Structure 1
Amino acid sequence: MKILISDKMSNKVEDVLKSKSIDYDIKIGLEPNELKSIIDDYDGILIRSATKLTADILENCSNLKVIGRAGVGVDNVDLDIATKNKILVMNTPLGNLEATAELTVGLMFSLYRHIHNANASTHEGKWEKAKFMGTELKGKTLGIVGFGNIGQRVAEICKVIGMQILTNSNSASDEVLNSFGAKKVSTEELISSSDILSLHTKLNDQTKNMLNKESIATMKSSSVIINCARGGLINESDLKDALNNDVIAGAAIDVYETEPATENVMFGAKNLLLTPHLGASSKEAQSNVAIDVANQVADFLKENKIVNNVNSF
């Protein structure tokens, strides 16, 4: 059996595959037609977010058995075609949990205390203390859209800070909510009541553009939005308009509809902090997801052990 690694990953992935006596090729940056021509030569493929496993690439696969996503989101994989062709798709939901949660909280601090803007100003030799008067997180209401592993870790950190936690989760039990001091409300109330609205949900037909002109208009004028989940949850043009017209006070965005976001409609918007999809970009997270995905795929191919699958057949 043989595995293709088509995205850049920690060297830990190679260590795991070698320890399990599984052959592999590393071919990064393949064009879609190149990937399509070779993918079915392999029993498994390990990807991050750069490789797009579209219907066109997967539709004729008969040998490929498993796709391992080093990370959480699998919107770069056509799950319908994968399932139709009996290709198991796995992700690694815990490997980048801490990194994404910490970035989320870091963005909260930066927005509320203007750290990013104050840094640039001070480098220019200015001394603008009054301009960068901030606001404290303690006592503010944090609305968490999606209360999975990352959403819960954000809640855990923010509870310690002294924030009030709301979520619209349909799946979180009362026991889980109580452990974080969180209150379950409707999505509409979550959006309108939160001082900080932080997105940690999947991108699907129900959540696509969930934050748009109409929903953002119901938010507090002092509120901010943070998205370290998936691009497409926010209508980017509507967000820019809302920021430029002071509908809300600010936003921090780490993910985009189209990546890499070397051009984007949001560029230049007021009070907008942008980062280049850094959610999982910690040394620890990169190592964790590489180890996890390599172990999961190897164990499936050798022992038919299924862990963290996102489809079934």
Structure 2
Amino acid sequence: MKIIISEFIDASAVESLASHFEVHADATLVDRPDALRSLLDDADALIVRNRTQVTPALLDDAPRLIAVGRLGVGLDNIDLAACAQRGVQVFPATGANARAVAEYVIATALMLLRRAYLSSASVAAGEWPRAALSSGRELAGSTMAVIGFGAIGQLVARLARALDMRVVGYDPQQPASAACWSETGAQCVTFEHALRTADVVSVHVPLIDATRNLLDADRLSMLKPHAAVINTSRGGVIDETALAEALRQGRLGGAALDVFADEPLKAASPLAGAPNLILTPHIAGLTVQSNERVSTLVAARVKQALLDHRRHSQQSEKIST
């Protein structure tokens, strides 16, 4: 049986799979679609991250495909309906990178509220902006609003509470009676209440029609002038033009974006040059440890799916003979 891996993966996971199957792991395949399609002709499994688009057309080029492993949790690059129609199982790395994302949120929240950690160049140049940088805020006593209260949102809430933050949350999929609110010490509130009371807003929602531009100009205007917005979920959830304008006009304290409507972010983006803005290239969930956890988990799930399929096929052959 043959496995194709089109984006980067921890080497130990490749070794684990290679002991049972033929494995072709090449992180450049995501940028060489013709080569990828050729390799998929007789592949039984495909493992991707977020850039490889698993579309109906790609699935048509992989008639033997049994499983798709997703080295991450977002599934917007995988056509789930097309996979289900073809009997292809999809295995995301649910929970494996939650700690990395949650720590990213807390780290950037500290930086954005304190407003002192982006001044190295000016201090090194001989400036001494001590007065300007002496009005930062502490996380303790501040309010963290978590929009989307799944596994990652809940872990963010736990870490925020450990730093003596008050946590409010909004998630239409989690009723006020859900155990997650009391377990994390967070208060379930309406979306508007969460925005109006927040000192930090952390977004953890998938990109679907209902969440596209979820934070638009009108909703950004509900935030306190010193508030910070952090998005580690999906680009397109925040109106980037409205966010940049709010930062430039001083109507928003800061922002950290790890995801963008178009990736890579274009050089002419309206975000370029906006003040108190942290931009990172979709790496909030990527650390040495999380990459190992994600790769190991997905490899194990894909491996089990293929072994189960092989066993079922052998049993069917015995019955037929």
Give yes or no for TM over 0.5: yes
Corresponding position of 1:310: none
Q: What's 1:25 paired with?
A: 24
1:75-128 deviation line (CA, Å, top 9, x unaligned): 111222222222111100221111111011000011012243122322323222
**Distance between the aligned counterparts of 2:37 and 2:94, measured in 1?**
27
Q: What residue in structure 2 maps to residue 79 of structure 1?
A: 80
Instruction: Quote the residue 1:67 is aligned against.
Output: 68
> Which of residues 209, 223, 227 is equivalent to 2:213?
209
- Cα distance in 2 for residues equivalent to 1:123 and 1:296: 50
| 8 Å Cα contact 1:97-1:150 kept in structure 2 | yes
Question: Percent identity, aligned pairs only?
Answer: 32
How large is the Cα RMSD of the aligned pairs? 1.8
Aligned to 1:271: 276
In 2, the alpha carbon distance for the partners of 1:66 and 1:164 equals 42
* Structure number with larger C-alpha Rg: 2
Structure 1 residues 227-274: Cα deviation after superposition (integer angstroms, max 9, x where no partner): 111111111111111111222111111111122225233111122111
2:132 corresponding residue in structure 1: 131
1:11-64 C-alpha deviation (Å, 9 max, x unpaired)? 021122134x12211233232233233323211011112222233322454211
1:11 aligns with 2:11: yes
Matching of residues 122-201 of structure 1 within 5 Å: 122-133=123-134, 134-172=136-174, 173-201=177-205
Task: Check conservation: 2:100, 2:287, Cα contact below 8 A.
Answer: yes
Name the structure, 1 or 2, with higher relative contact order (CA <8 Å, separation 6+): 1
Q: What is aligned with 1:224? A: 228
Evaluate the alpha carbon distance shift between residue 193 and residue 58 of structure 1 in structure 2; reply closer, same or farther with a 3 A threshold: same
Structure 1 equivalent of residue 99 of structure 2: 98
Q: Distance in 2 between matches of 1:256 and 1:28?
A: 22
Match of residue 309 from structure 1: none
Any conservation in 2 of the 1:35–1:57 contact (CA below 8 Å)?
Answer: no
CA distance in 2, matches of 1:206, 1:36: 33
Deviations 1:158-197 (A, max 9, x none): 1011111111123445422112211111112212221111
Which residue pairs with 2:243 in the alignment? 239
Counterpart-to-counterpart distance in 2, 1:281 and 1:130: 36
Alignment check: 8 A CA contact 1:36 1:58 kept: no
Name the SS of the counterpart of 1:143 in structure 2.
strand
Aligned partners of 1:123, 1:93: CA distance in 2, in Å? 43
Change (3 A) 1:164 1:36: same
Q: Which moved more, 1:151-160 or 1:28-37?
A: 28-37
Instruction: Return the TM-score normalized by structure 2.
Output: 0.89
Report if the CA contact (8 A) 2:257-2:279 is conserved. yes
Q: Equivalences for 1:114-125 in 2 at 5 Å?
A: 114-125=115-126
Question: What is the distance in 1 between the residues matched to 2:209 and 2:37?
Answer: 27
2:167 and 2:300 mapped to 1: Cα distance?
Answer: 35
Q: CA–CA distance in 1 between the matches of 2:172 and 2:7?
A: 34
Q: Tell me, which stretches of 5 or more residues in structure 2 are unaligned?
A: 311-321
The 8 Å contact of residues 115 and 276 in structure 2, kept in 1 or not, is answered as: no
Count of residue pairs brought into register by the alignment: 304
Asked if 1 retains the 8 angstrom alpha-carbon contact of 2:101 and 2:284, the reply is yes
Letter matched to residue 56 of structure 2: A
